[in-house]
Every structure is written in structure tokens, then in C-alpha cells.
């Protein structure tokens, strides 16, 4: 009886919330829009503001009237006002300091705009394409199936049938199709193993919403549409949502600790990429950002992080670099050509060290060194159908002064393997080399600056167009000295002895 009473109450609450939203004041919305939003979304909302040229995905064109992240069903083009309000507010997900839509320049506005202002913006934005209220209510989550081993297993099967063509075998967005959105812009299927890059987030409810409603304007389809070849029952959609939520790989998420610790091994270092020993190394991940600092700049990256692991022994150091790249770019390869933006160039990765490890904090400039302080750059390239992979060694005093050197002579070697959306490259070099004034000399316990860069050859990246990091640290971690364990025991004994003395004294 009570439940029946509750329903109308809830319904009327929803309706009144919508009524408030509908009351959003268009005129005030426009005032805020003209101060804060037009720079990207354009003066008239056509997505053509001055910033638009530097963005992929492009700012939404509000005159087109479609919204990607909505809760209304696939056959209802109009989003709920709450959907737009939520995307403006942000905070569903975040990369480190970014609380807006991940992988885009759309920030969260809840920190600078009052709630009513955000509703006013909803009203104004909707008016740009003449959207009314949706005819259909948001989809229901009442049939939710809790995640379980069985559900995830069922989801895995469905994923294999329905999603891999775009999202790839292991969900890393490395599908076999070149995708464009409705306005002709290149879109990249989400890397589902990196939930922090989701534009909303990887709560199974959200994933279920995306699968059921699709992502309008993009090729991410609705799987609830009975007229499509790709229909999934409600139950199947929950299973696949649970599966997608389960494949998150937190190792790849950069954390606060950014010292790459190189672990000491007795005996040989692993030289194969799939050596199980690598599991004993300590992974550290770093955010990539596109090279937006010096000419020619580059604004449309496809790769967002790199994970490094490393070992050393008394002779050598070996670094395993692992980064997700949706395309294996081998010039001359027909399949690579189908997916590429423009010509297929080689994929590549590089690490950079100062030639002289600084004793003080003064390092070479992070962008390829400076005239006073050179850097070593170790660059691996994927090779073409007619040439094998290569390893280059360069010394640079800034990007205009680069000396090509003989990698083999310095003992520098590398191999790379691509598998299901991930490159793995192992680089190896002796700790010390002959040309001590030209090569970084590694030493145990010494904090050594390190920076990374990578090129996606199917995304037009070469030369100065690439993704990169600034300086982080690499440390050959010394074995913990025995005294670390012995001294605390001695301290405990001393304190205990002191206590005994106290007791004896008090007894006298």
C-alpha cells in the first residue's frame, strides 16, 4: 500500500524538478554563455569558436540538437534537461586534476557557476536548436543485474560478438574500423580498460545507459534498438556492462608517485618482452600530453599514458615501455593504411636522459636539452614492411642541434612487439659506456631525470608532432641494507634494558 503511495510522490517530484529546469532563464543563460562558453562552442552555438581548431573532439554544435550523454531512450532524440545540466556541471569522472569530460576540453562548471546559472544555460542551449521537453522518460534501471563471475563471463561472450569490431579484442579501442562522427570528425572508440578516460564513467549503470541509448552523433550504436542487427536484450546489456566495468586496468593509471624504480636482479635481465620476470618489476605510469610547446605544435593526440618497468644488474639496465596505441603503424601495410589519418608513418617511442646526471636540481631543458646541457635520446621505431625495426641514439642540445650517434657502439638495443592495442618495447644498455662524456652513466641510488615521448604513425605523428612528458625520475633502487632490520632490534633491546633498570631502581 505504502509503495503505491510513494510512486506518485516520486513522479511528481521528478515532474517538478523538470518544471524548475524548464523555468531556466534563457536570457540569463545567454549572458553567461557569451562570457564563458562561446570561445569553444561558437557565438551562435555552432561549435565554431576560436578554440575549436585546436580541439578533437570538437566542441559540440548546439544548433544540431544532439547530445551524446543522455538518459532518454535511443528513439528519443531530446535529452532530459538533467542530462545537459549534468554534463555542464561535470565531476562524474576525472583525470588527476581534470574534473570535466575526460579526453576533451569540456571542463566542469560546478565550481564557478551557481546551480541556477547552470539551469539557465540548459534553457539557453536548448533554445539554440529549438529543443522542447522529451516525450519519453529516461530509461529504467530496475532490471539491473548485480555484477558476478557468471554475469561477467556472459558479458565477455557478448562483448566478443558485438563490441570488438570497434573496441578491439581486449577493449583497448583498437578496432578494425575507421570511424567518423556525424560531422565528419575522426572519432576513436573508447579504450575501455582505462575508465578514467571515459567521458562519463564506468559505473555499470552508465555503461548500460551508453549501450542502450548509444552515443548520438557518433558510431557508438544503441543496442536496444529492435530494428538494428545489433540488438541485445535488457539482461544481455547488463551482463556486458558488468564485463566492461571489470576490465579496468588500474596499473595504467598514473599515480602521485612518479619515481620509476629500477629493481636490482642477480643474474641476467629479461630480454624477451613476455618474460614472466617482468611481473616482479614495479610499474609506474605517466600521463602523455601532446607537444604543444615548440614549433610545430600538435593538438590531436590519440595516446594518453605510458607505463614503465625496469630492472638492472651489475652490468646492464633494461626498461620495458608499454603504451596503448589503437593502431599498429607499419608503412607499406595495407591494413594499417585503412585505419590511418593520411600516410602511414612508423610508430615510435623514446626516452630522454641528461648526459650528465645533475648533482643539484639544475637539469637540461626538458624539450631536448639546451645549449649548455645536452641530453641523450634513445628512440625506437617500428620499421616498415620492407625494413626492420630500428634503435637510434641521439645527443641533442635543443631540437635544432642534434647529433646522430651509433647505438650499437654504445651497447644500446631494443625490441618491440604489438599486441591487441598495446606496444611493448624493451630497451637495454650497459650501465656504463666508453664515451663517458657523451652517454648518461647509471649509478645505483642516484636520482636520474627521465622523460618519455611517443609517436602514433597512423595519426600523422612524426618529428615534433608527438606526445610527451616533462622530466620525471628514474632510480636504480639499492638493495635494502641489512642494518635497516638490525638496528630496530637493537633499539628494542636497549629500551627493554632501560625498563629493567627502572624497575630495579624503584625496588631499592
Give the one entry of another protein, ligand HEC, none that residue 480 binds, where binding means its C-beta sits below a cut-off of 5 to 8 angstroms depending on kind: another protein
Q: What is the C-alpha separation between 100 and 173, in angstroms, rounded?
A: 21
Report in angstroms how near the CB of residue 267 gets to ligand HEC at its nearest: 43
Q: Which is nearer to ligand HEC, 86 or 424 (CB)?
A: 86
Q: Do 305 and 287 touch, CB atoms closer than 8 A?
A: yes
Total residues in contact with ligand HEC, by rule CB under 6 A: 49
Q: What is the C-alpha separation between 129 and 65, in angstroms, rounded?
A: 5
Count helices and strands in the chain by DSSP H and E runs = 11, 16
Give the one entry of another protein, ligand HEC, none that residue 485 binds, where binding means its C-beta sits below a cut-off of 5 to 8 angstroms depending on kind: another protein
- Cell of residue 396, nine digits: 641533442
Binding of ligand HEC by 123 (CB under 6 A): no
Of 24, 45, 68, 367, the residue at the interface with ligand HEC (CB under 6 A) is: 68
* Cα dihedral 108→64→234→137 (10° resolution): 80
- Largest alpha-carbon pair distance within the chain? 96
498 three-class SS: helix
Q: At 204, which helix (H) or strand (E)?
A: helix 204-213
Which residues 234-263 are close enough to bind another protein by CB under 8 A?
A: 257-259, 261
The span of 7-15, 188-196, 310-318, 365-373 binding ligand HEC (CB under 6 A) equals 188-196
- Encode burial over 489-504: b for 16+ CB neighbours within 10 A, e otherwise: eeeeeeeeeeeeeeee
Binding of ligand HEC by 198 (CB under 6 A): yes
Of 30, 172, 328, 363, the residue at the interface with another protein (CB under 8 A) is: 363
Report in angstroms how near the CB of residue 464 gets to another protein at its nearest: 13
Give the one entry of another protein, ligand HEC, none that residue 142 binds, where binding means its C-beta sits below a cut-off of 5 to 8 angstroms depending on kind: none
- Cell of residue 299, nine digits: 593538438
Phi and psi, residue 79, nearest 5°: -75, 160
User: Cα Rg for the chain, rounded, in angstroms?
Assistant: 28
Spatial CA neighbour of 240 closest among 269, 208, 271, 199: 208
Give the one entry of ligand HEC, another protein, none that residue 172 binds, where binding means its C-beta sits below a cut-off of 5 to 8 angstroms depending on kind: none
Q: Which is nearer to ligand HEC, 116 or 271 (CB)?
A: 116
Q: At 161, which helix (H) or strand (E)?
A: helix 149-162
Of 24, 30, 42, 69, the residue at the interface with ligand HEC (CB under 6 A) is: 69
Binding of ligand HEC by 288 (CB under 6 A): no
Binding of another protein by 9 (CB under 8 A): no
- Which stretches of the chain bind another protein, using CB under 8 A? 36, 39-40, 49-51, 53-54, 95-98, 100, 104-105, 107, 109, 111-112, 257-259, 261, 287-290, 292-295, 299, 361-366, 370, 373, 447, 469-473, 475, 477-478, 480, 483-485, 487-489, 491-493, 495-496, 499, 502-503, 506
Amino acid at each position: 500500500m505504502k509503495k503505491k503511495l510513494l510512486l506518485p510522490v516520486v513522479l511528481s517530484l521528478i515532474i517538478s524538478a523538470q518544471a524548475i529546469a524548464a523555468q531556466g532563464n534563457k536570457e540569463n543563460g545567454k549572458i553567461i554563455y557569451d562570457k564563458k562558453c562561446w570561445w569553444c562552442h561558437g557565438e551562435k552555438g555552432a561549435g565554431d569558436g576560436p578554440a575549436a581548431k585546436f580541439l578533437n573532439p570538437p566542441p559540440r554544435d548546439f544548433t544540431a540538437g544532439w547530445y551524446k550523454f543522455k538518459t532518454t531512450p535511443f528513439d528519443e532524440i531530446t535529452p532530459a534537461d538533467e542530462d545537459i545540466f549534468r554534463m555542464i556541471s561535470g565531476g562524474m569522472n576525472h583525470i588527476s586534476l581534470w574534473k570535466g569530460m575526460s579526453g576533451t576540453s569540456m571542463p566542469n562548471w560546478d565550481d564557478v557557476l551557481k546551480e541556477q546559472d547552470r539551469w539557465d544555460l540548459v534553457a539557453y542551449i536548448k533554445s539554440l536548436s529549438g529543443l522542447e521537453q522529451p516525450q519519453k522518460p529516461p530509461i529504467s534501471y530496475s532490471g539491473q543485474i548485480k555484477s558476478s563471475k557468471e554475469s561477467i563471463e556472459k558479458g565477455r561472450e557478448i562483448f566478443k560478438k558485438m563490441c570488438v569490431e570497434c573496441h578491439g579484442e581486449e577493449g583497448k579501442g583498437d578496432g578494425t574500423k575507421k570511424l567518423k562522427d556525424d560531422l565528419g570528425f575522426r572519432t576513436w572508440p573508447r579504450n575501455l580498460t582505462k575508465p578514467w578516460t571515459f567521458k562519463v564513467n564506468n559505473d555499470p549503470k552508465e555503461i548500460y545507459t551508453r549501450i542502450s541509448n548509444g552515443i548520438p552523433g557518433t558510431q557508438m550504436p544503441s543496442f536496444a534498438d529492435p530494428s538494428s542487427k545489433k540488438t541485445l536484450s535488457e539482461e544481455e546489456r547488463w551482463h556486458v556492462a558488468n564485463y566492461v566495468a571489470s576490465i579496468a586496468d588500474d596499473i595504467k593509471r598514473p599515480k602521485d608517485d612518479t619515481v620509476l624504480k629500477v629493481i636490482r636482479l642477480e643474474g641476467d635481465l629479461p630480454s624477451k618482452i613476455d618474460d614472466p620476470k617482468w611481473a616482479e618489476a614495479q610499474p609506474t605510469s605517466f600521463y602523455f600530453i601532446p607537444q604543444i610547446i615548440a614549433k610545430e605544435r600538435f593538438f590531436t593526440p590519440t595516446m594518453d599514458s605510458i607505463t614503465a618497468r625496469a630492472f638492472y644488474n651489475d652490468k646492464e639496465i633494461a626498461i620495458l615501455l608499454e603504451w596503448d596505441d589503437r593502431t599498429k603503424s607499419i608503412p607499406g601495410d595495407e591494413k594499417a593504411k585503412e585505419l590511418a589519418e593520411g600516410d602511414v608513418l612508423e610508430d615510435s617511442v623514446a626516452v630522454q636522459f641528461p648526459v650528465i646526471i645533475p648533482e643539484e636540481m639544475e637539469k637540461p631543458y626538458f624539450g631536448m636539452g639546451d645549449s649548455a646541457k645536452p641530453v641523450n635520446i634513445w628512440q625506437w621505431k617500428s620499421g616498415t614492411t620492407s625494413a626492420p625495426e630500428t634503435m637510434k641514439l641521439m645527443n641533442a642540445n635543443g631540437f635544432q642541434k642534434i647529433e646522430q650517434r651509433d647505438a650499437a657502439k654504445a651497447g644500446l638495443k631494443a625490441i618491440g612487439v604489438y599486441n591487441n592495442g598495446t606496444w611493448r618495447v624493451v630497451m637495454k644498455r650497459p650501465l656504463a659506456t666508453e664515451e663517458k662524456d657523451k652517454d648518461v652513466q647509471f649509478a645505483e641510488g642516484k636520482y636520474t631525470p627521465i622523460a618519455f615521448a611517443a609517436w602514433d604513425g597512423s595519426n600523422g605523428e612524426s618529428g615534433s608532432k608527438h606526445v610527451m612528458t616533462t622530466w620525471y625520475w628514474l632510480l636504480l633502487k639499492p638493495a635494502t641494507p641489512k642494518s635497516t632490520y638490525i638496528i630496530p632490534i637493537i633499539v628494542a633491546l636497549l629500551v627493554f634494558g632501560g625498563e629493567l633498570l627502572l624497575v630495579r631502581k624503584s625496588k631499592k
